[in-house]
Amino acid sequence: MTEVVEVFVPGHVTGLFSVHRADDPARTGSRGAGLTLSDGVTVRLEPADDRSVELDGRATSVDPVDHVLDTLGVDAHVAADSDLPVGSGFGVSGAMALGTAYAANTAFGCGRSDNALVRVAHEAEVSSGTGLGDVVAQARGGAPIRLEPGAPPHGRLDGIPETDRVEYLTFGGLSTEEVITGSTDVLSAAGEKALDRLVERPTLPRFVDASRQFAREADLLTPDVERVLDDVEGASMAMLGETVFALGTSLSEAGYDVETCEIHPAGATFR
Amino acid sequence: MTEVVEVFVPGHVTGLFSVHRADDPARTGSRGAGLTLSDGVTVRLEPADDRSVELDGRATSVDPVDHVLDTLGVDAHVAADSDLPVGSGFGVSGAMALGTAYAANTAFGCGRSDNALVRVAHEAEVSSGTGLGDVVAQARGGAPIRLEPGAPPHGRLDGIPETDRVEYLTFGGLSTEEVITGSTDVLSAAGEKALDRLVERPTLPRFVDASRQFAREADLLTPDVERVLDDVEGASMAMLGETVFALGTSLSEAGYDVETCEIHPAGATFR
C-alpha cells in the first residue's frame, strides 16, 4: 500500500442555484447550473500512517478531505495543487474531497463505485458546510444542470451540450458557509426561477443570462463584481466568490486582465 | 446554417448485459457493463438540403442516423470517420447516432439538453435494432455500469472508478440485431448474474472476470474468440462482435497482434 495515485478534478463555477436541505446529507444539496473548468485541482495521495494535507505546497486542514478519509477508514498524505484561487467560488474544496475519494479508493483498493465515491465526497462537503452542488457537477464534467439536489442515487443531472472558452477574474473570497447557512429564501426563489428559464432552453447564452439575473435578484453582488457586470454584458458571478466569469473573449475584449480556460469535457480523471 | 460541427464519440465494448424490452423505446435497453474507448468515431455534420451519410469516405445508409435527423426535423450531410471496425461490437452505430444528435443540435440551434440528445440517439438505436446500451454509455465515458435500462430519465448509470490501457483484436462481425431480437432468456439470466457480481465489487479485474463468465454462459463465443479466451486469462469478448478485448498488455504479451487504446474519460465531446 505505498502506491501514489494522482487524480485531476475540474474546477466548477455555479452561475445560479437554490438551496435544498434534508436530514440526510446525501439528499441535501442545490439545484442549479454551472460550468466545469479545465483549470482545476490535481490531488496526489499516498497511504501514510500519519494523516497530512497540503494545498499548493503548504500544510493545511480541509474538513471535507478529513471527512472523506474518515468515511473510507484510511490515513494518507494528500497533496493538492490548484490552478484556481481558494474560497473564490471555483469548487476547490469539492475538488479536493472528490479527488481524495477517487485516489484513496484506488490506493487502498476500497472497491467502491463512481456513484459511491461521489456520494462520500458530497456528504463530506455538505457536512462541512463548504458546498452543496460542486461535487456532483465536478464528477460529471461539461456544463452540468442540477435538476434534483443531492448525491447519487437522489440527485439528478442534465447538461448543456455545448463547449466554449471561459475567462475569469477574482477580487477575493466570500464565505460559502456564511451564505448557505443563513436565510436562503430570496436566493432560492431567484434560483428556481433562473433554473426554469434555463431548462426551457439549455444553451450557454441562456445560462449566462439566467445567471446574471439570478446574481442580481439573489442580492449577492459585491461592488467590484457589480461594476464588471454593469460593464460587460456577457459576464456573470461565480457562486460563491468575488469572482466574475464569462464565455469566449467578453472580458478580455473589455480590457480586463483575466485567466483563461475551457469547459472541461470530463469529470474526475486519473493522471 | 452553414456551420460545420465536429463531435467525437468514444467507442464502447460491452462485456456483459441483459435485455430489457418495453413498449417505449426510451424504457427499452440493457443492464450491463462495458468500457468506453479513446478509439471512437468523429462525426462531421453540415446542414444540407439533401441528406447524405458517409462512413470512412464511402456513401452509406445508417438507420439510427436517419432516425436522429428525422426526430430533430433537419437534413444534413453527415460524414463519420471511425477508428474502429463496423459491426464488431464497438458501438459504431451508437456513436454515429449520438454524434449526429450533438452536432445537429449545435448546427441547427435545436436547444436540446444533454439528456434529451442522449434519449433521441438511444431511441434511434433501439428502434433500428442496432443496439440497446451503447448510446447511454458513450454519452457518459469511463467504464459505465448500466444499473437500469433505457435513456434519461429512465436509465440509471454507475461506473468503475479506474482507468487502464485496452487492447483488442477483431475476427469479424456478428449481427447485433439477430442476437437481441431472438430469444434472450439464457443470455439475460447470465447477464443479471454477472452484473450482480460486478456491482458487489466494481473493479476492472472483476469486470473482466464477470464478462468472461458471461460470454461462456450466454453461449455467444465463436471458435476464434473461444480460442483466444482459452489462451489469455485476462481477455473477454465484445458484445456483439467477433472481437476480443483485454486490459493492460495481456493480449500483446501472449503474442497477439492487437490495436491499443485507453479507457476514455469523457462522453461525446466537441472537436
The predicted model gives A73-87 an average pLDDT of 96
% of chain A at pLDDT higher than 70: 97
CA-nearest of B12, B29, B37, B31 to B197 is: B31
% of chain B at pLDDT higher than 70: 97
Whether the predicted pLDDT of B100 surpasses 80: yes
Quickly list H helices, A12-113. Answer: 63-72, 92-107
Q: Which domains does chain A have, with CATH numbers?
A: 5-159+266-270 (3.30.230.10), 165-262 (3.30.70.890)
Task: Give me chain A's average pLDDT, please.
Answer: 95
Predicted pLDDT of residue A4: 96
The dihedral through the CA atoms of B248, B252, B254, B257 has a sign that is: positive
Whether the predicted pLDDT of B216 surpasses 80: yes
Q: DSSP characters for B81-126?
A: EESS-TTSSS-HHHHHHHHHHHHHHHHTT----HHHHHHHHHHHHH
What is the distance between the alpha carbons of residues B116 and A175, in angstroms, rounded to a whole number? 36
Whether the predicted pLDDT of B2 surpasses 60: no
* H/E segment holding residue A259: strand A259-262
Q: Is A54 helix (H, G, I), strand (E, B) or coil?
A: strand
pLDDT in tens, B154-172: 999 999 999 999 999 999 7
Judge: A159–B112 Cβ closer than 8 Å, yes or no.
Answer: no
Quickly list H helices, A129-184. Answer: 134-138, 176-181
* CB-nearest partner of A142 from B106, B114, B158: B114
Q: How confident is the model at residue A176 (pLDDT cuts 50, 70, 90)?
A: low
pLDDT in tens, B161-208: 999 999 999 997 777 667 766 788 999 999 999 999 999 999 999 999
What is the distance between the alpha carbons of residues B211 and B197, in angstroms, rounded to a whole number? 10
Q: How far A66 CA sits from the closest chain B CA (Å)?
A: 20
* H/E segment holding residue A14: strand A5-20
Task: Give me chain B's average pLDDT, please.
Answer: 95
Q: How far A53 CA sits from the closest chain B CA (Å)?
A: 23
pLDDT in tens, A20-44: 999 999 999 999 999 999 999 999 9
pLDDT in tens, B42-96: 999 999 999 999 999 999 999 999 999 999 999 999 999 999 999 899 999 999 9
Predicted pLDDT of residue B176: 67
Predicted pLDDT of residue A102: 98
pLDDT in tens, A111-163: 999 999 999 999 999 999 999 999 999 999 999 999 999 999 999 999 999 99
| Cβ neighbours of residue A58 closer than 8 Å, sequence gap 6 or more | none
Predicted pLDDT of residue B158: 98
CB neighbours of residue B245 within 10 Å: 29
CB neighbours of residue A183 within 10 Å: 9
Whether the predicted pLDDT of A1 surpasses 60: no
Pairing of strands B259-262, B165-173: antiparallel
Question: What is this model's ipTM?
Answer: 0.95
Q: How many residues does chain B have?
A: 271
What is the distance between the alpha carbons of residues A4 and A227, in angstroms, rounded to a whole number? 45
CA-nearest of A18, A15, A19 to A203 is: A15
Predicted pLDDT of residue A240: 85
List CB contacts (< 8 A) between B266 and chain A: 141, 265-267
Angle between helices B114-128 and B92-107 (to 10 degrees): 140
What is the distance between the alpha carbons of residues A157 and A237, in angstroms, rounded to a whole number? 22
Predicted pLDDT of residue A184: 86
List CB contacts (< 8 A) between A113 and chain B: 145, 158-161, 199, 202
The predicted model gives B86-113 an average pLDDT of 96
Judge: A161–B117 Cβ closer than 8 Å, yes or no.
Answer: yes
| Cβ neighbours of residue B79 closer than 8 Å, sequence gap 6 or more | B43, B44, B45, B53, B54, B57
Using a CB–CB cut-off of 8 Å, the residues of A that contact B are: 102, 105-106, 109, 111-117, 141-142, 145, 152-153, 156, 158-163, 199, 201-203, 265-270
The predicted model gives A259-267 an average pLDDT of 98
Whether the predicted pLDDT of A2 surpasses 60: no
CA-nearest of A13, A48, A50, A51 to A33 is: A13
Cell digits of residue A80: 493538492
Cβ–Cβ < 8 Å for A148, A156:
yes
The predicted model gives A235-255 an average pLDDT of 96
* H/E segment holding residue B67: helix B63-72
CA angle at residue B3 from A194 to A34, to 5 degrees? 25
What is the distance between the alpha carbons of residues B124 and B113, in angstroms, rounded to a whole number? 17
Whether the predicted pLDDT of A256 surpasses 60: yes
The 8-class DSSP code of residue A249 comes to T
